[in-house]
Structure 1
Amino acid sequence: MRKPTIKDIPKSLNLSPSTGIFKNSKSKIIGAIAFDISNPFFLDFLKGVEDVLFPREYKILLSNVDENIDKEKTYLSWMIGHGVEGILASPVRERNGKSNLRLYQNFYKMGIPIVFYDRMFYSQGQFDHVIVDNQDAIIQALMHLKETGHEKIGIFLSKKGIFTIEERLKGFLKGCKLLNIPVKNEWICEDIYPHEKAIEVLNCLKRKNTLPTAIIATNNNLTKYIVYAAKKNNIKIPEELSLVGFDDSLENELIDPPLTTIKQPILEEGKIAATSLLSRIEDRYARPMNVTLKSQLIKRKSVKNLNL
């Protein structure tokens, strides 16, 4: 069976050519694009979305794209074919900059409501979006590390090109400049994807005897693999390596030592994204809602105070 493409969309939808809006479209279905369903981020996000949609009798059509723009394109086409009333999307971007931006723009012109969450496209103000201030999140972590005496700080970054990761790198460079923290290229570990590569990267730093005193991880899965690699290499946290993770969960309190993490307001992000999409469905011509939320640094015991 041939996979549907964007060329199939006009055949599978009953659209008004003059308005680009669905005729008699009340499916009560919302499409949700997840970039990687294995990331615990989506548990809280979808809970927030469901809290808003369920009382209004909306159903969620969830698609996991695994950071793959071809899968994203296929699932988006399927969603439109199933008559979704709107789409919540965290758009994928390849290392070379390739994305499905044009597809999203076409949907927008067709009158299909889209709200971006967690990620967005630069210079595309026509779309609603709900994101976190990623630069500020990393700067908060840097300030805590600086206050505890750390000057040798590294950062582990996921797949290159992703909006959140690029923003977190910008925050790292900006924060280091503001706080007079020296930057070393060998401690800016980019494009760690799949996330298992974090094990190899940490092993390499250990072998070369170039470990920084602290590392900031930029997502939940990277944090887990850094903890795993540290244990395998007998690197004691925080005695030999301090660690700040990204995204918080109960397990961060249960591991030894409890993990200092950057906590995103994920549940709230889901609620706001869903509310924004419902508003867009009711009024396609309303001004775009652009929301940027602040994160919180949860201080535990995975950061050693070098000043003591």
Structure 2
Amino acid sequence: MPTIKDVAKQVGVSTATVSHVINNTRFVSAELKQRVLKAIRDLGYHPNAIARSLVKRKTHTIGILISDILNPFYTAIVRRIEDVTYKSGYSVMLCNTDEDPEKEILYIQMLLEKRIDGLIISTAFQDGTHPLLSQLKAISLVTIVRRIKGVASDAIFGDNMGGAYQAIDHLIRLGHRKIGIVSGPTGLSSGAERLEGYKKALEDHRTPIEDQWVKIGDFKRESGYSLTKEMFQRDPLPTALFVVNNQMAIGALQALNELKIRIPKDISLISFDDMEWYSFLDPPLTTVEHSPYLIGKTAGEMVLQRISNKRKSPKKVVLPSHLIIRASTAHVAKERR
């Protein structure tokens, strides 16, 4: 394998000159620079990335921590982050915590040891607290989807409360008053805010909140399945159901199918997080959408700005949520009001 010494010998210069050409750290004449680059190509020399990162104090690597790689919402975010950062010469290291705070700690420590230039994270820690606050404050950080208390970082979220409010307002305008919810963990900002939007819409329409129709899941398919079955095996039954993420919505659909509860004749159903294939369901699913691609694009741009010190003060972006009405919601039958 050729070394920097081989390049220097072929061109007839010092290894320091070759290093200056590779790292662009000092002026080298255009003619000499071209000779060095030609020798690098001819010899098939590849500079040591670790050594270059020590010299430049940059690895051109961005860490991404997400909570569930199986969730298409997160994979869409990651795809867009990678699109944006790749154009600026950065690679990404993707870690999946699977909603496990211990894995999150280990991955953050590993990424810091790899000397990442920036980190984009959707935390698994509930109640917004984090045991690695000092380390997170020391790097170029962007938080997405969920908040981390005590860190004045760049952040981008969807309008969770507003999106949930739109969903419940839509159901109430269809005549529903018995509306259940399968919510996410209230220790996570996304879960707490969607539950708050549900409650506020009911309160604004002077509709009572029934505890038996409020179920708290963990954002995973299995909890959507089990909690929906639990809700619909005890009278009185709701006439509408709001499920606050796509994975739990899949579980809810499975449970309703097994219970032979028809959508929307027996139950109107709304999910948070729109997926491309929702429109192909029978019936197509009404959803609350906040674009994962836009979240990913904005997060990628934010972390690059932070790394390059183009912006000193933290920036917070809240993307609007939009209700997409499809055939899974309908007016409630008069006898069930």
Assess same fold via TM > 0.5: yes
TM range (shorter): 0.7 to 0.9
Do the aligned residues in 2 keep the contact of 1:202 with 1:226 (CA within 8 Å)?
A: yes
1:1-308 alignment, distance < 5 Å: 24-94=56-126, 97=127, 99=129, 101-108=130-137, 110=138, 112-122=139-149, 124=150, 126-192=152-218, 194-283=220-309, 286-306=312-332
| CA drift at 1:24 | 2.8
Paired with 1:136 and 1:252, the residues of 2 have a C-alpha distance of: 21
The answer for unaligned runs of 5 or more in structure 2 is 1-49
TM-score for the superposition, normalised by structure 1: 0.86
**1:117–1:269 Cα contact (<8 Å) kept:** yes
Distance 2:144 2:284 in 1: 29
C-alpha contact 2:221 2:250 (8 A) present in aligned 1: no
Higher helix share: 2
1:132-172: CA deviation from partner (whole Å, max 9, x where unpaired): 11000000101111111111111101234111001111111
Q: Percent identity?
A: 29
Is contact 2:142–2:153 with CA below 8 Å preserved after alignment?
A: yes
How far 1:105 moved relative to its partner?
3.1
Please say which of residues 193-202 and 81-90 is displaced more in the overlay: 193-202
| Matched position secondary structure for 1:207 | coil
Q: How far apart in 2 are the matches of 1:261 and 1:98?
A: 26
Distance 1:180 1:119 in 2: 30
Task: Compute the TM-score of the two structures, normalised by the length of structure 2.
Answer: 0.79
Native 8 Å contact 1:148 1:307 kept in 2: no
Rounded to whole Å, the distance in 2 between the matches of 1:178 and 1:58 is 48
The number of residue pairs the alignment matches comes to 282
> 3-state SS of the aligned residue for 1:161?
coil
Whether contact under 8 Å (2:121, 2:144) holds in the other structure is: yes
Looking at both structures, which has the greater relative contact order when contacts are Cα pairs under 8 Å and sequence separation is at least 6? 1
**1:211-239 deviation digits (Å, cap 9, x = unpaired):** 21111111110110111111111010111
- The 1-side partners of 2:92 and 2:179 are apart by 41
* Root-mean-square deviation (Å): 2.0
Unaligned runs of 5+ in 1: 1-13, 15-21
- Structure ID, larger Rg: 2
Question: Deviations for 1:72-126, whole angstroms, at most 9, x for unmatched residues?
Answer: 00000110111110000011224xx484x24133331x3x11100111124x462
Q: Which runs of 4+ in 1 moved over 4 A?
A: none
CA distance in 1, matches of 2:296, 2:184: 22
In 2, distance between residues paired with 1:47 and 1:198? 26
In structure 1, what is the Cα distance between the partners aligned to 2:327 and 2:219?
27
Range that drifts further, 248-257 or 63-72: 248-257
Distance in 2 of aligned mates of 1:221 and 1:38: 9
Q: Give the equivalent residue in structure 1 for 2:40.
A: none
